[in-house]
Structure 1
């Protein structure tokens, strides 16, 4: 989670050109054994074969023998290393992509193998000090050998200055959309996330970057994943744009039984928002990379779950069969709701996960972890298949990742939640004597704008505990939305799950709002 101490500054660093490192092409004698010179041309089957071979052998931890001066680098020392952008891979070509690479040090102590694939031939991309500008470095670098590389990032021809995609740390990767803003991250895989025994972090051991053809506007990247419990092969087809699209194929080979496997995980940050009050004063009304979990269930129901920063670890799972999609979204795009002109939370991308094969039965898991500062990721969402994960069985998951400001609201065709607010129960001058909490929800879009103000819209509200009091709904012309308000009378200290949607006759007009309210946080 501490990686956010680095990632939270990525927008500034990208503008300064501090994060990536360039390379020169390897010499012919460096051609990778097992490439086209020795075997058939490289393809995804070779990556899958390597993953199977890894899974059939005992797990080998990654080496960590960095020079002490790199291991001890702090944030300022790490960012003092500058790359030479003119040395980026494919810089001297007319191709749509260029690749730059990350230096080892600070949090990133484990080298990964990175290769270029050109017409089926494989060549390693190697580190050497001449790749970097160390003029402002805070350590001596002259004696660095081939220490390796930490990861890579891709740049696109529409604007080669900022990066569009980056792979750095464990199995984390990120992308931007039209706002050119990084925010939340994806992962190759999550294992036992949120369980008391502690999380296992799979990592990418190797990447293969396939050189694009002239005029090709997508990039193919292959990755070999490894961990104590599992190995896997990944293929990413990356298409940058206003919404950056990644088609992902993953084939997994478990070494051991896994209690909680997380497929297509998304990791984000939620400190505080409109539905809660920060304990520590902050001039910014809201601070978060994402404000809710959206789910499109196999039965075609749309569901919205606002995020919270809990006072204790919160684990929720939502049963489904053949899910159509889910994602961590930043729906609120108004600058005035954040007042942050440094990292611009209102411009953070959404990440939408869309299965491309049948995932069967399982659960979408949501993990919410208490945090005090925005430098930590505390939100994780992923798919957990119902079928137990056992060694010796091959598992395949194909899905599409959409990074951008809109997905998937424009495709919903139904009203969606735009705000969730909590307050004191009752009304001024007539406050109840018992324990009462007020909830206010705004719905917008879909067919709602077509309704007359006197349409017999019904708020359907239910709770697992306590009593719902006086639910009501009415149009608010000033925000072009319909507002639901109700009180919840409660007792005890157990968590309460609430549901709400709008209905006209027998037909649902909106997605379903879900909320878990914890009286212990009052």
Structure 2
């Protein structure tokens, strides 16, 4: 297991980028004046890539790549010394220039990379002089033949805002310029013991247009192949990727995951019993946000469970919008001045078109350290995914520093758990207390006599008491306190603030057990 903290630091964006290029979409822009050596041009377009993915799906999967054993010597420190030469960057320095990653211990698999201009693609030919080795202690690291991925640089070349590297993973630093959670091309049988697959992007085609940067990718795996198109723009408030995915199934897939998001949650104020580190909280994301087709706004705080856990949030009306969010933006709550958890981006998935019924799937596994990604969220179609199928999914990804949109209802802003019972008296045996704070302009001016009521239910156990009231000295903030008599197993509590039968807040889904 590699040190995830080091990898994210290696990818880290340190300064803010320039404004996004505002221009009409569609026109191809020229590559930079100096580029790596390029091979023979061949015709290329989106239709060709889909046909190529379909052709490969009809053949046996290619054997897994065998890493060059020399990559093991290129550890974190060595990889940090190998730098892609600035004068070889692809495209001009306007906030969309691309630099390449070398091979190393944490990224040993080479990918094919092509430049696209005016409907023709030219392969980038690797050469050692694309990279330079910075001075440092220890042996001079070897630049091995091959490219492991690429990153998109901020204007001025200081820091990057988007990176593709490893299997089908990609990530953005978002508007707060700090890497955190990741996205994947697809998830295969995630949460099914011993069966998860990790298909990989094996080739990329990069095209710079006035709309931004378009990235085409070929996905290959044992169970499927795929063609992907990412139209990427970097604006002040969000990094946006419009994604088109076309999948060709080689065999049946029991649990197909579309638009998967991967993050880390160790502990926060809601599960202090997991804390063994001096820092008050450690997580890249603190909750799963869902906007379903029935109009509900659901907030499910993340957990670090005792055992691997799968939760489904079904929507028979069509695909829900969803995302993993870092809502807590207070440095004081983390006290980490090295990796800045309060700046980690949130990632929001907006499905386009008709995906049919299905469920947002949340998979959480135990962890005792911050270097492990232990949370995955994705959309699982209700219809079976069978061999021979061609499936298409279009969606938008937004890497955010705040909420996906301004809403009138109140949000869950804090949550604590502890023993049940009146403070100062003996705790109620076998019972637990949940305390949650809701905040939002809709609560401003509402007092105890304003008709605000809590709607609370639990699917296992018994509710002993419920109270909701405005927090003294805090404008537009209400507190909910629920005592629950527990039963063995996992229990899900749902809570909403209402007035006159209409919701004032999003629905909190808290899981005990």
**TM value normalised by structure 2:** 0.91
* TM-aligned CA distance change 1:197 to 1:369, over 3 Å: same
Identify which of 25, 37, 52 aligns with 1:50: 52
Partners of 1:251 and 1:396 within 8 A in 2: yes
> Take 1:300 and 1:418, find their aligned partners in 2: how far apart are those partners?
20
Partner Cα distance (2:60, 2:261) in 1 = 29
In structure 2, the partner of 1:399 is: 395
Aligned pairs for 1:64-463 within 5 A: 64-66=66-68, 68-90=69-91, 93=92, 95-136=94-135, 147-157=145-155, 159-212=156-209, 216-241=210-235, 242-321=237-316, 322-408=318-404, 410-445=405-440, 447-463=442-458
Deviation per CA, 1:16-40: give whole Å up to 9, x if none.
xxxxxx9953556x214xx13xxxx
**SS of the residue aligned with 1:486?**
strand
Taking only aligned residues, the RMSD between alpha carbons, in angstroms, comes to 2.1
Q: Which moved more, 1:194-203 or 1:364-373?
A: 194-203
Note closer, same or farther for the CA distance 1:294–1:175 as it changes in structure 2 (3 Å cut).
same
Alpha-carbon distance between aligned partners in 1 of 2:460 and 2:328, rounded to the nearest angstrom = 30
Tell me, in whole angstroms, the C-alpha distance in 2 between the residues paired with 1:342 and 1:140. Answer: 27
Query: Contact 2:50–2:227 (CA<8 Å) still a contact in 1?
Result: yes
Aligned to 2:21: none
Match of 1:506 among 501, 505, 511: 501
Quote the offset at 1:375 in angstroms.
0.7
Most deviating of 425-434 and 174-183: 425-434
Looking at structure 2, the residues matched to 150 and 334 of structure 1 have their Cα atoms a distance apart, in angstroms, of 35
Distance 2:116 2:84 in 1: 23
468-477 or 271-280: which moved more?
Answer: 271-280
Report the CA distance between 1:78 and its aligned residue.
2.4
Q: Displacement of 1:482 after TM fit?
A: 0.6
Give the Cα–Cα distance (whole angstroms) in 2 for the partners of residues 98 and 13 of structure 1. 14
- Report the alpha carbon displacement of residue 75 of structure 1 after superposing the two structures with TM: 2.2
* SS in structure 1 at match of 2:444: helix
1:505 Cα deviation after fit: 1.2
Cα distance in 2 for residues equivalent to 1:65 and 1:337? 41
Q: Which segment drifts farther, 422-431 or 275-284?
A: 275-284
Residue 26 and residue 123 in structure 1: after superposition, are their counterparts in 2 closer, same or farther (change >3 A)? farther
> Is the 8 Å Cα contact of residues 156 and 240 (structure 1) preserved in structure 2?
no
CA distance in 1, matches of 2:179, 2:253: 31
Q: TM-score, normalised to structure 1's length? A: 0.90
Shift of 1:451: 2.8
Deviations 1:404-440 (A, max 9, x none): 11132x4333111111110111023322452110100
Structure 2, unaligned runs of 5 or more? 16-31
Following TM superposition, by how much is the alpha carbon of 1:139 offset from its aligned partner in structure 2, in angstroms? Answer: 5.3
Call closer, same or farther: CA 1:489–1:96 in 2, change over 3 Å: closer
* Structure 1: segments with no counterpart, 5+ residues: 16-21, 37-41
CA 1:422–1:433: 2 relative to 1, 3 Å? closer
Per-residue deviation, 1:4: 2.0
CA distance in 1, matches of 2:417, 2:125: 55
Q: Could you tell me how far apart the structure 2 residues matched to 1:61 and 1:419 are?
A: 48
User: Following TM superposition, by how much is the alpha carbon of 1:167 offset from its aligned partner in structure 2, in angstroms?
Assistant: 0.3
How far the C-alpha of 1:226 sits from its partner, in A, is 0.8
The match for 2:65 is: 63
Q: Is the 8 A contact 1:217 1:239 kept in 2?
A: yes
Deviation string, structure 1 residues 179-220 (Cα, Å, up to 9, x no partner): 1111100000011111112310011011000033xxx25111
Contact 1:23 1:131 in 2 (8 A): no
C-alpha distance in 1 between matches for 2:366 and 2:82: 33
Contact 1:245–1:402, Cα closer than 8 Å, also in 2: yes
